[in-house]
Amino acid sequence: MSFEYSNLIPADFHANSKVWIYQSSRLFSIIEAFEIEEKLTNYLANWKTHGTAVKGYANLFFGQFIVIMADESAAHVGGCSTDTLFRMVQDLELNYKVSLLNRQSLAFLIKDKVQMLPMSQIKHGIENGFLNPDTLYFNNLAATKNELLNNWIIPIKDSWLNTHLKTT
């Protein structure tokens, strides 16, 4: 599987466009992926902030990560707009029986596959050689288009997890 994604990010969105990354607790099936992409398209077609259409983008990456972006150069995405996004994500969780909001589960690229590991097991993963400084980590804290392009899939040594490497 190719983990190149930058060509899928819209070039016409401002570098500071707001990004939300939702990591699924499991890989979606092909049928689920098509359904989710349709739901995301429908959501974006109706996404408004204070009555103004949001310039939005959404995609399901690698069958497991829902990335949503709002270009705020035309209209700021307010609290109500963010709330509707959150409710849509909660609906996806219920419909597909997955967790999309669990920030305690971390994703890594190991042997060309996305592998999940609970945060509580990071030390164990490092001590037993499953994780090393060069293991690629999905930094779902990326909050802008620029961060998504440059700091989403990064080596552990370049992330906040680097502190765990130094303690083992």
pLDDT tens digit sequence for 50-61: 888 899 999 999
Claim to verify: residue 90 and residue 113 sit in the same structural domain: no
Claim to verify: residue 91 and residue 110 sit in the same structural domain: no
Asked if the structure places residue 55 within a domain, the reply is: yes
Span 5-19, pLDDT tens digits:
999 999 999 999 999
Structure tokens, 103: 């920030």
Claim to verify: residue 85 and residue 53 sit in the same structural domain: yes
Claim to verify: residue 22 and residue 77 sit in the same structural domain: yes
Longest dimension (CA), the chain: 53
Asked if residues 117 and 100 have their Cβ atoms less than 8 Å apart, the reply is: no
Which residue segment(s) compose the domain that 73 sits in?
14-96
Residues in the chain, overall count: 168
Residue 50 to residue 48: CA distance in whole angstroms: 6
Asked if the structure places residue 150 within a domain, the reply is: yes
In the predicted model, what is the mean pLDDT of the chain? 93
Within 28-148, strands assigned E span 48-49, 52-53, 55-61, 65-71, 105-110, 113-118, 136-138
pLDDT (0 to 100) of residue 50: 85
Claim to verify: residue 89 and residue 139 sit in the same structural domain: no
